[in-house]
Amino acid sequence: MTTPIRYINTDLDLVASYDLGALARALEARDVFALHVTSGDDGSCSARFELNTFADDPGDNLEQTISKILDAIESFDVSIQSLWLGCSLREFDIGYECGTEPWAFNNELTNHTLLRMARVGTSLRITLYPPTPNAAPSTGA
């Protein structure tokens, strides 16, 4: 039995020293939804977002997912842009589920998308998850 390696999704993680509610509402209006917006005891606020895949259904395409989130960020008005730029963390976290096949697996981000990410000040993190224990294995058929 084999388990396929697969791209899961991309989250957008933010941290700021102020409430992220207005920024969350601006993203949600653009089909990028908050998984959580949390205030810390130290006055900081963190938030995690992901694309509403039901809105545009980018499927499992990394490039399309990040591009659609960037579209939302690049459309901010000046007041929301100011909140965005004030975040101490602006990070795309790309998630993959590990597996045993194929022998090699890759996803591409074009230089155009990487440049867009740099222009809006985001960093990049890659998270690897172990195979899901109860996932149906691939039969190779």
* pLDDT given at position 61: 87
Domain ranges, ordered by start, for the chain: 6-129
DSSP 8-state assignment for residue 136: P
DSSP 8-state assignment for residue 104: S
d(CA 112, CA 114): 6
Averaged pLDDT, 89-103: 92
Contacts 24+ apart (CB under 8 A), 133-139: 135/3, 137/1, 137/2, 137/3, 138/1, 138/2, 138/3, 138/4, 138/101, 139/1
- Which pTM value belongs to this model? 0.86
Task: With a cut of 80, say whether residue 37 has pLDDT above it.
Answer: yes
- What three-state secondary structure class fits 135? coil
Task: With a cut of 50, say whether residue 139 has pLDDT above it.
Answer: no
In the chain, % of residues over pLDDT 70: 88
Averaged pLDDT, 62-75: 96
CB 32 within 8 A of CB 86: no
Handedness of CA 66, 132, 13, 104 (dihedral sign): negative
* pLDDT given at position 132: 78
